[in-house]
Structures are given as structure tokens and as C-alpha cells.
Structure 1
Amino acid sequence: MKKGWRAGIALFMAIALILSGCSTSGDSDSQSQSEQVLKLNLPNGEPTSLDPAKAFDAESMEVVNALFEGLMRLDENHQPKPAVAEKVDVSPDGLTYTFTLRKDAKWSNGEPLTAHDFEYAWKRVLNPKTASSAAFLLYFIENAEEYNTEKASADQVGVKAKDDYTLEVRLSKPTPFFLQLTAYTVYYPVYKKGLEEDPKLYENGDSYVSNGPFKMKEWQHDSSVKAVQNEHYRERDRVKLGGIEWAMVNDPSSAYQMFKTGKLHSATPPPDILPSLIKKGEAKVLDGSGLEFFRFNVKEKPFTNKKIRKAFALAVDRKAIVDQVVQGNQQPALAYVAPGTMSQLGDFREGREELIADNQAEEAKRLLEEGMKEEGWKTLPSVTLLYNANEKNKLVAEALQEMYRKNLGVKIKLQSQETKVFFDSQINRNYQMSRSSFLPDYNDPYNYLESFQTDHSMNRTGWSNEKYDELLEKSTEAKSEEERVKLLEEAEELLLEEMPVFPLYYYNNVIVETPKLKNVLRHPVGPPDYKEAELTE
């Protein structure tokens, strides 16, 4: 989110993950499981894309994850296990992966899925013309980054279909989490034959071809996505639902009322009633991953000055925002990498000091004055905070606006944009200060920190630091896990010293759902999996 999920990936996720449940009146008890349709909601509206190469926000990935399947799929222990791949062989040096594909893997139109579809899909992600924000997740592959940055050809990328059912992948460096990555949406196959005939294959529901537990039935833009069980899926007998329908209701109060009246199987409760639902046990609080944070455009005044960036970070009362605004039992974020992010030594966060202090109004005011003096400004240039439109984001933005007025004596403006426009503004750096979110694509601290390397597609701040880049590069060449973790720790400390971003709170998952819903597989990292979900009597 990532990226995720991840990007990754990013959107409000702590209380806006797509939830699932059974309606009180929408399904007849006489319906068979195969006829039952799970009704969900995309709380931020239209997905940015349902093309696996471009699906890089939480809602897009949720839908794509139901429609597709990769070489690997995460199991109930959140570990990658063979899916389209029947087996995988890894060379002793950890650089060559040979995947043997199942011969019963098919596309939703009944045609065979082959290793050529995977080779085409991955090189399509890396093709500069595709402009995939998630392309960096394939950079572990030999010459992948070089191709994506037009320094090598597609033929030089270390992905090759040796025959219809054998895919050979060569990595540039040993990557212990590579199999996790192959279970991620950007690594999914695409229908090569169809895309060669119609480059817009994945832009509408009429021509959509996929290979997952469900297939596209209908896509009404800005209204709904409807999927039905894929009769050509290799494990169709394990798919219990007849289909899934996603609404696109971005007002949480309306969505919650739809849930209460049976028009949705689930919904995200609005912030004003969330605490009472948690207290009454009607909403569950589950562990999550990733965080809500804010970006500064360091090329735009006043955030060209580090002290002013730090002033805006330290003037925020994170605990008040968690307790009084989002109210979902989240943990204030005083570092960037979230708790529960694992290295081979254990939890990266455990035993480490906080990297920033919360609600430091006096220090923030001092830094603001010093920064303005350094720039020769008697009046601070005007500041506009950009956020993608939904009620929670609006409330958080208004809380920050008041904190800056109270703690810094600064009046900032607020600007909301529809999700697609908002992401375009971030990508093109058409903002001064922007609400952001991160959902990891794989469970490793490197995934959190890689995004802020110079010219990284997910950086989006204009920040560049040679030492930071060096620390990240050295971490990929470390001779031991202890050395690697130490380098990543130094990188995180430098990131929050320079403050091109500041963290707000770590995500958890707050869900309301009927007891009738069973077997939804929710991973700490990645979108939920509805493959074996069912609605019971």
C-alpha cells in the first residue's frame, strides 16, 4: 500500500477496511450457499484501477484479490503456499526461483493459463508505458529496475517462461521475502492474449478476464462492482459464495444504515458511534498493519525548511486525535515502522525508543520561529492541507487545522478531492501537505522505508537524501540480519530527523459483521481473502 495493500497503498484503513457480514433480511434462509451473494462496500468510492498492474490502493486490491490468484496465496498462518504454482525450486544461492505451474489453472473464459501469462504480466508492470506505481515491488528481479527506468530492455529482465508450465525468475540479490511478494496483487498474471487484442481489457466489466475464485459480472463505474463464482477456478469446490457485490458508498453514516437495514452485509461505523459499538462489543478491534501519516512537499514553501516541517509534526496531539476523532482504539504513531513488522530477529519495533514526541507545542513554536528566521519570512507562506474526501479524513483534517491554530498560531486551509484526483495530485506533487496512508506489501521493515529513497515512485515528497539512500542500499547487501536491521534502524531515525513525512497513528481493523459470516481470511499484511467465506444459516 505498500504500497499498500499498499499502498499499497494509500487510504484510510484503520476503520475503513472492507468488511463483510450477512444481512438481517437480504438473504432468504431457503437460498443455497452457491446462490448467496456477499454484499460489501468500498468506502472511498470508485477503485483507482482493477488492473492488477495498477491496483495499488486498498479497495482496488480487495476486488482484484477476489478476481485473481498468483503463483502463491497466503494461508491461514499468513504464509505463502503454492496456488497457481504447483511447486517452487530455489537455487542454493537464493537467486533463481523455478515455478512449476498447475496444468488445471485456467482463465475465467476457460482458456489455459500459462507461464507466458506471468512473464507478460510482470514485464507489463515494469514497462515504463504502463506507469505502474507498484513497479518497484518487482525491483528485486534481475534488471527489473533498469527496464522500468529505460536502462535495459524487456528481454534482459530476469523472468522467462521456459515452456507453458515453467517460469524461471532470476533475482538481483537474495530476497528472503520473495515468495510473499508473489502472493501480492501486482504479481498476479494477466490474460496476455486478451490484452494484446484490447489494451483496455481491464478498464470495464464487459471484457474482463481473470483467474481467481470469482470473476467479473458487472462494473458500473462510481456505483458498484459485481462478481460471481468462477466456474473455471481450479479449486471451485472450496468456494462457497455465489458472488460478491461491492457498493461505493463513501458516507459512513449512510453505509452503516444500509448495513443495519440489510442492504449491506457489512459497513464501517461512522466515528461518532464507533466508541459505543466497541464498548458494547458490537464492533471488533483486530490487529492491523500500516499507518496514517502526512507528507510534506519539500519543494514547496514553507516546507522547504526542515525546522518548519518538524514544527508542524510536533504541534500535533496524536493521542487526542485517536481518542476524540477516529476513536477506534488505534495507537498513536511516534515512529514510522509499525509494531508487528517482523525481521528475522523479531518485531522491529520492540525495545526501540520512540523517534518523535507527541504534542510538543512549545518546542514546535520555537522551531517554527527559527525556521521562519532562517528563511527571512516575517509571515509564514499560506498552507493548504490536502485530503481525499470522506468523513473521517475531514474530521482529522479539521482537528489538525485547530491544533495548528492553537499551538502554532497558524491558520491553514483545507482541500478535499475525490480519490482518483487526490492520488493524481500526490503523484504529481500538486500539494503542500497531504494526508497519506501506508499498508505494507510484505512483512518486513524494508518495505516501510524503501518508499523514501530518491526518485522512488512512492516518495511523492520531493525529498532526497544521499545518506538515506546509502543506508537502504547497504541493508540489501548486509552479511547478517543484525547488520541489516541496524542499517534500517538508522534509516528510520534519519527519516524522522529530516521529517519529509510525519506519522499520526498505527492502523488496526475495526469491523462489524453478522455472526453468519464465516471463514473470511484477514491478513495483517494484504487484502482480505473471501475464497472460502460463507454465509451460514
Structure 2
Amino acid sequence: MPMPSRALRLPAVIAGLLLACIPALATARASQAQLERGNGPEPSTLDAHRCQEVACGNVLRDLYEGLVTEDARGRLIPGIAQHWSASADGRTWTFELRDELRWSNGDPLDAHDVVASFRRAFAPATAAPFAELFDALVNAQAVQAGRVAPDALGVHAPDANTVVFRLTRSAPLPALLTLPIAFPVYLPAVVTHGAQHTRPGRLVSNGAYRLAAWTPQANLVVERNPRFHAVGGVSIPRVRFQVTEDAAAELQRFAAGDLHLTETVPPQPLAALRERFGGQLRISPYLGAFWLGFNLTRAPFGPDCDAAAAPATHVATAGADRECDARAHLIRRALSLAIDRERLTRSITGFGEGPAYGIVPPGIAGYTPARTVWADWSQAQREARARELLRMAGYTAHEPLLIELRYNTSTPHRRLALAVAAMWRQQLPGVRVRLRNEEWKVFVGNRKQRVITQVFRGGWIADVPDARNFLDAFGSDGALNWTGYDDAGFRNRLERADAARSEAARNAWLHAAETRLLAHDAVIPLYFYASKHLVSPAVRGFEPNPLDRHASRWMSLVEPGR
């Protein structure tokens, strides 16, 4: 490295002090203007009904408010509804709206707007990815499939201040109403601008903030909405959501004082991060599961089940109603067994994540998560069995299995994919792996279509603290069933859970459904999440919560040192 000229050289101590002050000075400058938030990848959409990932959800929770919302600690509180009640059987819910609600453009917002927005959300043309989470809503599935008109949906407004929902079974409706699909969307803008209604100057919202600017692949700015019913409690006037697809670069931007809050923290030794950032590093439990999915609709991993054939090499599945395609199942089980989850969570993720041998994470009240039948084996036993199964499937070093592992562009996902591929190559000589990374929107589209995917990055972050939320997608052929899993026995167990007369019975049937899904090796569970953020000392009101949702309205900015 070239040495600086003598005239520009500072004593080492003074230079060190100046460098140490840079983050604090930059944060102080930022705190006088707006909250700077890292937000991960570019949001795929700001159409609330079409949002399906964290990046758009973070922004939409600032722009909109549903009938029910959450406080900083994730507790359910009134949103645009001031109170609600349920019938004795849990199938009819009534919500009373606040008085004089307004859209961000000043137009009045009433119960009829809420109902019309719900009908739009479930219309076939909208193709809302989270619509299947509302399968308990009367006619929700029929409306989305186009079999009945949207006005047959089980939601209506008997007057301008009341919204009534009708369900086919009991369900945690207030929690579901915190999801973006349940946010009221301003339909005149949709009619006038179509898909472009989400652009600055056109997007009309009803939440604590309104959209001010959006620079694709760079940042998105929201500003305080003066017509929000609780605007007096919104401290921060402007928030800029920065696209931070590279977690390592996001950390450096935080260290330089360019961000008050990161979306995540890249994999690094935890002790070193704690020494560097101290109390700014926030780690807490999080209801999320990370897994790798198989495309079960195409070779070599599917079709998953074949009732017409039952080869002798079949891997037994507990309680299965029919024989599964032997060769595809052998491959899936071998790939799952060969991964050392303890090593992944210790050396690759390293932030308190727990090795996963199931789909549903711990921490859901009343539910005992299921585990794979081999969860208690030693890693050496798993690896030996993996090699045996792959040989039974007919793959060797001379005739290897060629597979593609696909993930969205991200430093943590790249590290994890590299580690998994290395474990497969090391433990399974009959496997050759090609890694494929894609920009988020491309990755989401390919995963949904189930055409070119083989093994892909998957997982689930809880929408509501309910075991069924982690299992729902596998029970239908909806947009969220990225694997294409199709099993009547699994669906039957979900139906029995829905019909259960007690919470204990419901959880028992959900456990049985999870057990069956694991027995079929439809996905490879890897780890359960821990939430991890870097938070500037200038930020107040950032609270840990199980769903890791942090609306800007609950935060405030102070000058460092105060």
C-alpha cells in the first residue's frame, strides 16, 4: 500500500479518534432528517394484496393500517376498528370502525371501502398470494377460483361503521387481519392507474405514513401522514427504506452511520460483533423456519407419490395411506440426512439459530413441534444412511446425480448454499451440485412457477403465532405451495384439526399433519430463526417481538448521548 505524503499524515492516536467518531457524527446528521432503515431486497410490490415477503411488508405496515394492528411488542391492538367481538361459536366477527377515518388524500374511509377492498383482494385477477390463509372465510376459496362472484365473500358492511365477517370454522381472525392482504386499498386509484397505482403521487394509503418517493433498486421514502387518526403519536417525520440486498454491505453502511437500523446482520463470529457493536446488536427469538424445498412436480424429486407402484426400495413413511415414489424419496431423504445442521448453525449462521428437524418452530403456545424420525441419530449415522440411500437410488461417483440449488441474491443465503453444497459433495460422492443465485423478483417468480426449480431456498416467517400457519401452504395448490406437495392424507389431517372441538385436539391433528409432511421429506428443514438487527443508540422504541415486525410509528429518534 502506498504511504501518504508527510503533509497529510496525522498522529495515529488522533486519526483513530476521528475515525471512531465518524459513525456517531453521521448518525447524528441522519437523526435530524429521517429514520434510515435497511430493508433487504427491493420490494416486489407495494400492492398490499399482492405482497408476499418481508421487504414489502415492512413498508406496507408504515403505509397502511388494517382493522387490527400490533404495538411495538407485537400485541394485537385496535387499528381502524376501535373494538370487535365474536359470536360464541367463533364464526361471526363484528368490527366497529373509528369515527371520521380518512385516506391520505383526504377522502373519507368507511366500512364499505373495507369490504370492497376485501373483495378485490380475493378476486381471481388479483391473485393474492396470502388469500389461502383466509380459507376459513366463507366463500374465500370459491371467489379466488372464480366459481362465485366477489360479493359472495363472507364479509359485508351493514352500515358505514361496521364490518362483519362470516367464517366456516373458528380461526384467529384478528391476528390474520394484521396481514397486508387485509389492508384497505384505495380502489379509485386502482381503477384509474391499474398496476401503477403503487407509484409515488398515485398511491393513496391510510396508515401512519404516505409514499413520498421510490427509486428502484436504491431506496423508498415515506413521510408522516397528517390524516392518520393517531398522527399525534407518530414521532418520526420521514423514513427512508434502503435496499440492502448484501448484508455485509448493509453492516458497513450501519458502521459508517448511514443507517439507523439494519434488516439483518451478516454471518460473522458473534463474539467479535458483540465486541464491536455492544448493545447495538439486538438478537431475540423469532417465529421463523428456514428450509430447502424440492420441486416435487418434476424429476428427479417427484412426482412425490404414485399409487400404482410400490417398489421394494420404498422408504417407509409413518402412517402413510399409500406408497410413495421410491427413487425420488430415496434421493430426498439422502440429501436431507447428509446436512450437518449443528455445524451450519454454529459456523455459518451463528446468531442463536436452532438446528431444525421439523417445520414448525418452538414457542407457539400449546403446540409440540414434530421432528424427523432420525433427529436423534448421530451425524455419522445420518451420513452413512445417506450414502446407502443414494446408492439404492442408483447414483454413484461414475453416474452422479446432477442437481441445481437455487437461492436469491444475498450474502447469508450464498454462504449457506455454499456450505450445503460442500456437505453434499463431501458426504455423497454420487452428487454434483450447481448453485444458481437470482435477483429476488426473478427468484420468487421461478419458485412459484415450479418449472425450472429443483432444490430451492424456502422457509416461512409466521404471519400469526399458530402452527397451522407453517403448514397451510402444503395443503393446497396455491401460490405458496412452492414444492407442489400433494397428499390427501396431509389435507385430511388439516381438516380434522379445523373440525376439532378443543385446542388440544386441534394441536394434536396439526402435529400429525407435520409428522406426515416430514415423513415424505417434502422439504429439508435446516434451522429456526433468531431475529438479528443492528440498532443505533439514536433509535428509541425498537422492541423485540416474536414476529419481528417493527413499524416506524412506534419509534423515535434522539441525539446520540441523550
For residues 223 and 102 of structure 1, the distance between their equivalents in structure 2, rounded to whole angstroms, comes to: 37
Q: Aligned partners of 1:195 and 1:362: how far apart in 2?
A: 57
In structure 2, the partner of 1:145 is 141
Tell me how far 1:535 sits from its aligned partner.
0.9
User: Are 1:348 and 2:371 an aligned pair?
Assistant: no
2:348 aligned with 1:325: yes
The equivalent of 1:418 in structure 2 is 439
Q: Given the superposition, is the C-alpha separation of residues 164 and 192 from structure 1 closer, same or farther in structure 2, using an over 3 Å criterion? A: farther
User: Would the alpha carbon gap of residues 193 and 203 (structure 1) be closer, same or farther in structure 2, given more than 3 Å must change?
Assistant: closer
Q: Tell me, what secondary structure is at the counterpart of 2:553?
A: coil
Q: 1:260 to 1:78 in 2, by over 3 A?
A: closer
Distance 1:28 1:497 in 2: 54
Equivalent residue number for residue 95 of structure 2? 99
In structure 2, relative to structure 1, the CA distance for the partners of 1:378 and 1:492 (3 Å cut) is farther
1:37 maps to which residue? Answer: 34
> Structure 2 residue aligned with 1:130, among 126, 131, 135?
126
The amino acid across from 2:288 in the alignment is: G
Tell me, in whole angstroms, the C-alpha distance in 1 between the residues paired with 2:265 and 2:75: 31
- Following superposition, the deviation at residue 76 of structure 1 comes to 4.8
Displacement, 1:498? 0.2
**In the alignment, is residue 500 of structure 1 matched against residue 495 of structure 2?**
no
Between 1:386-395 and 1:104-113, the stretch displaced more is 104-113
Cα offset, 1:98, TM superposition: 1.6
Query: In the TM superposition, what whole-angstrom CA distance separates every residue of 1:355-386 from its partner, at most 9, and x where no partner exists?
Result: 5437411011111122338xx99834420000
Relative distance call for 1:131 and 1:275 in structure 2 (3 A) is farther
Which residue is equivalent to 1:395? Answer: 415
C-alpha separation in 1, matches of 2:448 and 2:545: 28
Contact persistence 2:103–2:227 (CA under 8 A): yes
Contact conserved, 1:356 with 1:496, CA < 8 A, in 2?
no
Structural mapping, 1:227-376, within 5 Å: 227-267=222-262, 268-278=264-274, 281-282=278-279, 283-304=281-302, 305-342=328-365, 346-349=366-369, 355-357=373-375, 359=379, 360-372=382-394
Alignment pair present for 1:192 and 2:190: no
Alpha-carbon distance in 1 for matches of 2:523, 2:234: 42
- TM-score, structure 2 as length reference: 0.85
What SS is found at the alignment partner of 2:527?
strand
Question: Aligned partners of 1:383, 1:201: CA distance in 2, in Å?
Answer: 39
Report how far residue 501 of structure 1 moved: 0.6
Contact 1:36–1:535 (CA<8 Å) still a contact in 2? Answer: no
Q: Measured at CA, do residues 405 and 75 of structure 1 come closer, stay the same or move farther in structure 2, by a change above 3 Å? A: same
Match in the other structure for 1:52: 48
Q: In structure 1, how many angstroms separate the alpha carbons of the residues matched to 2:552 and 2:211?
A: 15
- Structure 2 CA distance for aligned equivalents of residues 308 and 530 of structure 1: 46
Structure 2 Cα separation of the partners of residues 39 and 23 of structure 1: 13
Answer 1 or 2: which has greater helix percent: 2
In the TM superposition, structure 1's runs of 4+ consecutive aligned residues that sit over 6 Å from their partners are none
Question: Could you say which residue in structure 2 is the equivalent of 1:222?
Answer: 217
**In 1, Cα distance between equivalents of 2:265 and 2:149:** 49
Task: Find the aligned partners of 1:111 and 1:356 in 2 and give their Cα distance.
Answer: 59
Aligned residue identity for 1:503 = P
Residue equivalent to 2:7? none
Aligned residue in 1 for 2:11 = none
Question: Unaligned 5+ residue runs, structure 1?
Answer: 1-21
Q: CA deviation at 1:134?
A: 1.0
Specify whether residues 326 and 355 from structure 1 end up closer, same or farther in structure 2 by C-alpha distance, changes over 3 A only: same
C-alpha distance in structure 2 between counterparts of 1:456 and 1:473, whole Å? 17
Determine helix, strand or coil for the equivalent of 1:199: helix
Q: Which is worse superposed, 522-531 or 325-334?
A: 522-531
Distance 1:381 1:406 in 2: 14
Alignment match of 2:208 (pick from 208, 213, 217): 213
1:463 partnered with 2:461: no
Q: Would you say the 8 A contact 1:95–1:171 is kept in 2?
A: yes
**Number of equivalenced pairs:** 504
Distance 2:398 2:538 in 1: 62
Mapped partners of 2:504, 2:110: distance in 1 = 40
Compute the displacement of 1:270 (Å): 2.8
> Any conservation in 1 of the 2:285–2:531 contact (CA below 8 Å)?
yes
User: Cα gap change, 1:273/1:218 in structure 2, threshold over 3 Å: closer, same or farther?
Assistant: farther
Deviates more, 1:356-365 or 1:273-282: 273-282
CA distance in 2, matches of 1:148, 1:526: 29
Deviation at 1:93, TM superposition (A): 2.5
Quick one: distance in 2 between partners of 1:174 and 1:348? Answer: 21
Distance 1:140 1:238 in 2: 35
1:242-261 C-alpha deviation (Å, 9 max, x unpaired): 11101113222322222112
What SS does the aligned partner of 2:531 have?
strand
Structure 2: distance between partners of 1:319 and 1:157: 47
Q: Which residue type is aligned with residue 322 of structure 1?
A: T
RMSD across aligned positions (CA): 2.2
Structure 2 counterpart SS, 1:457: coil
SS at match of 1:263: coil
Structure-2 residue corresponding to 1:490? 512
- Superposition deviation, residue 354 in structure 1: 5.6
Distance in 2 (alpha carbons) for counterparts of 1:145 and 1:415: 35
Residue 321 of structure 1 deviates from its aligned partner by: 1.2
Which of the pair has more CA radius of gyration?
Answer: 2
Q: Secondary structure at the match of 1:183?
A: coil
Alignment-mate amino acid for residue 396 of structure 1: L
Q: Distance in 2 between matches of 1:102 and 1:211?
A: 13
2:531 to 509, 527, 530: 509
Instruction: Report if the CA contact (8 A) 1:79-1:180 is conserved.
Output: no
What are the superposed Cα offsets for residues 158-209 of structure 1, whole Å, 9 maximum, x if unpaired?
111222221111111122x111111222111111222222222543222111
Residue 146 (structure 1) shift: 1.0
* 3-state secondary structure, aligned to 2:552: coil
**Structure 1 residue 128 displacement after superposition:** 1.1
Alpha carbons 1:426, 1:460 under 8 Å: kept: yes
Paired letter, 1:431: T
Letter in 2 for 1:42: N
SS at match of 1:103: coil
Residue identity opposite 1:67 in structure 2 = L
Alpha-carbon spacing, 1:356–1:114, altered in 2? closer, same or farther (3 Å): farther
Instruction: Quote the Cα distance in structure 2 between the aligned partners of 1:418 and 1:274.
Output: 28
SS at match of 1:233: coil
| Contact persistence 2:367–2:507 (CA under 8 A) | no
Distance 2:363 2:256 in 1: 37
- Please report how far the alpha carbon of residue 102 of structure 1 lies from its aligned counterpart in structure 2 after TM superposition: 1.0
Native 8 Å contact 1:23 1:264 kept in 2 = no
Name which structure has the greater RCO, CA cutoff 8 Å, separation 6+: 1
Tell me, in whole angstroms, the C-alpha distance in 2 between the residues paired with 1:76 and 1:396. Answer: 31
* Equivalent runs, 1:45-84 vs 2, <5 Å: 46-76=42-72, 78-84=74-80
Separation of aligned partners in 2, 1:480 and 1:273: 45
Paired residue for 2:12?
none
